[in-house]
Amino acid sequence: FLEMAKYLLENKYKDAAAVIIGSVLENHLKHLCSKNNIETTYEKDGRFISIKADRLNADLASAKIYNKVVQTNITAWLALRNNAAHGKYDEYTIEQVKMMHTGVSDFIMRY
Dihedral of CA 5/10/15/18: which sign? positive
Which residues have a Cβ under 8 Å from the Cβ of 30 and sit 6 or more positions away?
A: 40, 50, 56
**pLDDT per residue as tens digits for the range 49-59:** 999 999 999 99
pLDDT of residue 19: 98
Dihedral of CA 31/35/41/47: which sign? positive
Phi, psi of 38 (to 5 degrees): -105, 130
**pLDDT per residue as tens digits for the range 61-106:** 999 999 999 999 999 999 999 999 999 999 999 999 999 999 999 9
Given a contact cutoff of 8 angstroms between Cβ atoms, the answer to whether 16 and 92 are in contact is no
pLDDT of residue 48: 95
pLDDT of residue 61: 98
